[in-house]
Amino acid sequence: MDISVIVPLYNEEESLPDLHAWIKRVMDENKFTYEIIFVNDGSTDKSWKVIEELASKNPEVHGIKFRRNYGKSPALFCGFDRAEGDVVITMDADLQDSPDEIPGLYKMIMEDDYDLVSGYKQNRKQGDPLSKTIPTKLFNATARAVSGIKNLHDFNCGLKAYKNEVVKNIEVYGEMHRYIPYLAKNAGFAKIGEKPVHHQARKYGKSKFMGWNRFVNGYLDLLSLWFISTFGLKPMHIFGFVGTLMFIIGFFSVVTVGGIKLYAIMNGTPHPLVTNSPYFYIALTMMILGTQLFLTGFLADMISRSSQERNNYQISKSI
Amino acid at 130: L
> Can you tell me the distance from the alpha carbon of 319 to that of 317, in angstroms, rounded to the nearest whole number?
7
d(CA 135, CA 214): 9
Q: How confident is the model at residue 127 (pLDDT cuts 50, 70, 90)?
A: low
pLDDT band at 292; cut points 50, 70, 90: confident
Half-sphere CA count of 282, side-chain side, radius 13 A = 8
Contact 47, 118 (CB under 8 A): no
User: What pLDDT, on a 0 to 100 scale, did the predictor assign at position 38?
Assistant: 98
Return the bridge partners of 315, or none.
Answer: 66
At residue 273, what is the residue type? Answer: L
Domain segments of the chain as ranges: 3-232+311-318, 236-303
pLDDT at 223: 74
Strands 116-120 and 160-163, sheet pairing: antiparallel
Assess whether pLDDT exceeds 70 at residue 147.
yes
pLDDT at 10 over 60: yes
Residue 98 reports pLDDT greater than 80:
yes
Specify the length of the chain in residues.
Answer: 319
More confident residue, 276 or 38: 38
Long-range contacts of range 254-257, CB-CB < 8 Å, 24 or more positions apart?
254/280, 254/283, 254/284, 254/287, 257/283
Q: Average pLDDT, whole number, for the chain? A: 84
What kind of architecture, by CATH, is found in domain 3-232+311-318? Alpha-Beta Complex (3.90)
For the four alpha carbons of 174, 179, 180 and 184, in that order, the dihedral sign comes to negative
Q: How far apart are the first and last CA of the chain?
A: 18
Question: Three-class SS of residue 317?
Answer: strand
The residue-averaged pLDDT of 82-109 equals 96
pTM: 0.73
Report CA Rg, the chain.
Answer: 26
pLDDT for the residue numbered 48: 96
pLDDT over 70 for what percent of the chain? 84
**Which range among 103-112, 121-130, 133-142, 158-167 shows the weakest confidence by mean pLDDT?**
121-130
Of the pLDDT bands very low, low, confident and very high (cuts 50, 70, 90), residue 128 is low
Of 2, 69, 305, the residue nearest 171 (C-alpha): 305
Round to whole Å and give the CA distance between 280 and 296. Answer: 24
The identity of residue 155, as a single letter, is: F
User: pLDDT band at residue 139, thresholds of 50, 70 and 90?
Assistant: confident
* pLDDT surpassing 70 at residue 132: no
Q: What is the pLDDT of residue 175?
A: 76
- Side-chain half-sphere CA neighbours of 78 within 13 A: 28
